[in-house]
Structure 1
Amino acid sequence: MDSSRIIKFFPRLQDIFFAALFLAILLLGSRMINLDGDLPRHLLFGKYILENRTVPNTEPFIYPYEGRHYVSHEWLAQVVYYLVYAAVGLKGLVLLAAGLLSVTFYISYSYLVKRFSLRLPVLFLVGWGVAITSLNWAIRPHVFSMFLLAVWLILADELRRGGNTSIWQFPVLMILWSNLHGVFIAGVLVLFAFAAGWAVDYLFDSRNADTAIGKRLWLALLLSALASFLNPGGAGSWTSILGFVNNRYLMSRMLEANAPNFQLPEMRILLAFMAFSIFLLAFKREKLSAGQGFLLAGFTAMSLVAFRNIHLYGIVAPFVLAETLSETKNLKLVNRLENTLAGIETRITGSFHPIFTSIALAILVLISPLSSALYKFDPETFPVKAVDWLASNPQEGRTFNDLNWGGYLELHLFPEHKAFADSIADVTGDVTMEYETILTMSKGWEELMTFYNIEWAIIETDSDLAVILVEENGWNILYEDETAVILRK
């Protein structure tokens, strides 16, 4: 067999990138499962929807909010998560996340390479973006948003550049997005940035601003905004999401809602990228369009305001800044390497490598006993042993629980028991404030315990509340391990 026949089966650089990403995510799977307390509630919510064949419009799982209006903006992702979980367990969720995240950066890289004919510089930039977003990797519905944001950016970029992209793709995609995750708003912001940028270009130099493109951008924006209402929350989705992110009390209690702390070593990668982006913009001879400027500035500001937005920045910023790398072609070494890679990749046929990689790694994960041991709820993060004890020793009455364990308790004890609080249900701050009052034993905490008729509690073993309940209030210890203690009046 001659070398040309062998080469055509070689993986492209983008295929190697995909495989490396997929494998890296699998290695981080345990961390992604246990990063916070959200996943168990997402699973139960999906199960609840499937069993009742409806999306509930009131809070179903925490008793202080019984009957209060609540609509999940992530219901479709929750259904998908539960279906995968019911079929193959947590390992299936890790595989789903690995697939979504790998495809996200694979399509971004492939599009940028096709547009700028640069492989190594684009790989460097997109790979840096991967590292930034990894700070926020978790098994949560936002991985769907990351994938859809990458698709949206490609379509919107084609639209602003005068491509023949159908504007109807945007509202159709938005209907899907607005039922998967609340960050569908990011898609609207992308189109707004490009549409507003076109308007600025038109105001300052109407000769270089294509009117047809402007009309299509604004129409796509309007249709997408209207399509975002087509979910169980309707137009109220916008008010509830914006009301939540503007709730100062809740945001102050959420670590991910705070600005990135650049004193932390892991945050330096974000700081370094932002500094590098300034250098790239200063180095580029031709300026970016106003739309690209709005897009980059907007998502940079969002990431500086809240840590929870850096996974969006890690996708958007490399996408915009890739254009600044066009002049690296003038570097002899880069040019030589690019020509060599281009010569090899033009001889490669087929796109089976990502599919083969996904199937091979999925089979390995699904059949390996190691993955079952690795991909599980961590007993040091969740009250796994305590809940197992409760399964054999069910308790009557209402409970008070650690907020981050609420979803785990709901997943295993509902409908027999509802939690006092969890990490998702509270969108107003009322329950979180009452939870904090009890946990810190602030003024009125015992009255709240009486008001809610709390008869038992499952909280951290070394918490001050546990000590006071036992030593001063006479509560009995029913169960105790290194993570959780179960107390009863």
Structure 2
Amino acid sequence: MTVSEGGRDWLQYLVIILFSVLLVLFSMTRYADYDLWWHLKLGESVFETGKPFFTDTFSYTFAGKSQYCGEWIADLLIFLSYHTGGIAGVNLLKALVLSGTFFFLYRTMRDAEPDSRAGFAAAIITLVTVLFAIRFRLFVRPYLFSLLFTALFLFILGRSRHAGNQKLLFLLPIFQVFWANMSVGAVFGPVIFFLFAVDRAVRDRSGIRTNVLVLVGLLAATMVNPETWRIWTLTLDLSSDPYKALVGEYQPMSPEILWGFGLKYTLAFQILAFVSALYFVAMRGWRNIYLLLLYLLFLVESVLQIRMVEFFALVAAPAFATVVRTALVAVVTRIPGAEKWANVFVAGAIVLVVPLSVLGNTTYVLGADVKEDAFPEEALQFLDREQVTGTMFNSYSLGGYIIWRAPERKVFFDGRYRRLYNPAFYGSYTDIVESAAAWKAAEERYGFDYAVVEYDMLSKRFPLHLNDNPQWALVYWDNHSAVYLKRTPARERLIAAGEYRVAKPNFYDFKYLDRFRGPAATDALAQINREIALNPANQEPVLARVFLLYSMGPLYHEMALRDLEAIRLLKPDLAMEHSARAFLLMARGREGEAREAVKHALSLDPLDPGALELGNKLGMKLKLPRGIHH
């Protein structure tokens, strides 16, 4: 750098400001996280009662049973942030927690590499890499506070080691008490310190007594929460759960997640893992037993379950920064004048990152509200408008939002799995969704008479059997959710006016329409026109009409083509819209337009069967994903 040891030039302050802006922008996103809402409701309960929540009052399936309340302070803070500023307040809380996390992480790296010549630039580059690595996990839940405490522990342990001040270690049990009341991730506090103590025992046996006292203090502090020992058993329950493969964040790393569709989420994690490994392998970093054990432990945990990536990113940062610093030193000592441009390069890189990764990003949408079509708000408005009451069945993913938005509608299931609900119940829930017989048995047991279910094209955990159940009627349907009512005399009028009798939520598989031939097709067309009018923004019924019109013969193809032209304005933009349009264009002799439609379809889904079929017929050169053969 351009200043003397320990000093800072104005460019360093500029870089810090730019990184802070980037961090805030990464925090200011529109929300699509289901679990936020039940944490808000639990926080509201703490706010109103002044004490932790020990029993469930939001479901009817587990009402009155004990629920985990060890994260009550975090839930309270999350609620207060929302109560004060809505989603913007929640985003601000995220930004504040992350700011503290990255401050302690920065200080940890600077303590380890104090010279200002390259250490500063290396630290900032590391922080940016870590920020990208954890970006896809930045939900506002209690575990977010575990990032802050993990960074704080790393800082205190590093400062104690470099300054030779063992008294600092006695601060850890104090912070552990707060951590244990904010996140189940507090179990990592004693683990991190134990690895530190192992390293110290190998290096200097004189600190064993202090280490034992601090470790005992940490273990005791972990129990100072309303759940005491259950903080440990919940951790074991979550990591060994028989259904964790069904929950995205508990899934192990896979080739698809690392190098397929998930590459955009895990690339920074992979860079951290590889570069940090160079420190241990090529720079003899294995002698730092503390960092090596942290690296190995959290790398293995990250491979076993994706949700551990953020912890790995934090503990890998010091090793990563050392490698980057070494590389920078090699560059600035070999290239005349390169030293003074290091901060300029880092500042410019951060400025470039903003338009490339923040502005216009469709995955992490900048804003301070909820994502469109992310929650069942319209479905709940329909229930309120039509005054539908009774006992509700709901999808697991929707329960948290319903708890917050409509607490009078007691839920069947929600995201408090393992904190309230047990594996046996989760297993019965999956059976209910997949099996008509299990649905009937649950209906008799629990007495539910209406259902609010998620219609998710990715997970496809949807009770398709309801489409063939004569006792239930589909009365509301949008791109995100559907409402079914059990047929009762009191609901005859509502069902008669709003039932979907032809179009069905079937994940865009329209084979069920094959039964409509001849006069039946004409009658079905009249019905489907009425159903489209119920919710014109729902594109699947429109595509169902296209399928029906196509099957009715060439006289109806122009009508189908007009539907496809209109549907291009609706969301989401699906490959099958364009491949269906391509078939119709070919039937009308418009080959050039058909080719363009095939290209568009394949750009959205390289494996769209309709586009592949027609593309082959047209002799087009099709580029399939690597390893896929058609």
Q: TM-score range by the shorter chain?
A: 0.7 to 0.9
Change (3 A) 1:168 1:487: same
Change (3 A) 1:174 1:320: farther
SS at match of 1:382: coil
Report how many residues are paired. Answer: 442
What is the deviation of 1:272?
Answer: 3.2
What is the deviation of 1:65?
Answer: 1.6
Per mean C-alpha deviation after superposition, the further-off stretch among 94-103 and 147-156 is 94-103
Match in the other structure for 1:363: none
- Name the CA distance, whole Å, in 1 between partners of 2:140 and 2:240: 25
- Name the CA distance, whole Å, in 2 between partners of 1:337 and 1:77: 49
Match in the other structure for 1:136: 137
2:55 pairs, out of 40, 58, 76, with: 58
Match in the other structure for 2:294: 295
CA contact (8 A) 1:399 1:419 kept: yes
What is the deviation of 1:185?
Answer: 1.3
Residue type at the aligned position of 2:193? L
- Name the CA distance, whole Å, in 1 between partners of 2:381 and 2:482: 13
SS at match of 1:436: helix
Match in the other structure for 2:205: 211
What is the deviation of 1:304?
Answer: 1.2
Residue type at the aligned position of 1:449? E
CA contact (8 A) 1:104 1:150 kept: yes
SS at match of 1:457: strand
RMSD across aligned C-alpha pairs, in angstroms? 2.9
After TM superposition, list the pairs within 5 Å mapping 1:77-226 onto structure 2: 77-116=74-113, 117=115, 118-161=119-162, 162-199=164-201, 201=202, 209-226=203-220
- Name the CA distance, whole Å, in 2 between partners of 1:340 and 1:257: 45
CA contact (8 A) 1:119 1:338 kept: no
- Name the CA distance, whole Å, in 1 between partners of 2:477 and 2:463: 11
SS at match of 1:242: helix
Larger Rg: 2
- Name the CA distance, whole Å, in 2 between partners of 1:321 and 1:327: 10
Residue type at the aligned position of 1:438? I
Per mean C-alpha deviation after superposition, the further-off stretch among 95-104 and 224-233 is 95-104
1:254 pairs, out of 241, 244, 247, with: 247
- Name the CA distance, whole Å, in 2 between partners of 1:459 and 1:243: 27
Match in the other structure for 2:439: 445
Write out per-residue CA displacement over residues 116-165 of structure 1, whole angstroms, 9 at most, x where no aligned residue.
12122232233222211112111222221111111111002223442254
CA contact (8 A) 1:410 1:418 kept: yes
Residue type at the aligned position of 2:315? V
Name the TM-score, length of structure 2 as normaliser.
0.65
Match in the other structure for 1:206: none
CA contact (8 A) 1:59 1:68 kept: yes
1:423 pairs, out of 415, 425, 436, with: 415
- Name the CA distance, whole Å, in 2 between partners of 1:8 and 1:277: 30
Identity %: 21
Residue type at the aligned position of 1:253? L
- Name the CA distance, whole Å, in 1 between partners of 2:26 and 2:455: 34
- Name the CA distance, whole Å, in 2 between partners of 1:477 and 1:376: 30
Match in the other structure for 1:309: 308
Unaligned ranges ≥5, structure 1: 1-6, 202-208, 345-371
Match in the other structure for 2:368: 375
- Name the CA distance, whole Å, in 1 between partners of 2:368 and 2:245: 31
- Name the CA distance, whole Å, in 1 between partners of 2:403 and 2:271: 41
- Name the CA distance, whole Å, in 2 between partners of 1:283 and 1:410: 53
CA contact (8 A) 2:180 2:225 kept: yes
Match in the other structure for 1:43: 40
Change (3 A) 1:143 1:464: closer
Per mean C-alpha deviation after superposition, the further-off stretch among 293-302 and 51-60 is 51-60
1:231 pairs, out of 211, 220, 225, with: 225
- Name the CA distance, whole Å, in 2 between partners of 1:218 and 1:132: 34
CA contact (8 A) 2:272 2:313 kept: no
Write out per-residue CA displacement over residues 288-327 of structure 1, whole angstroms, 9 at most, x where no aligned residue.
3222221111111111111000011111101244345564
Change (3 A) 1:220 1:325: farther
Unaligned ranges ≥5, structure 2: 1-8, 345-364, 487-630
- Name the CA distance, whole Å, in 2 between partners of 1:129 and 1:343: 19
- Name the CA distance, whole Å, in 2 between partners of 1:374 and 1:14: 23
CA contact (8 A) 2:395 2:453 kept: yes
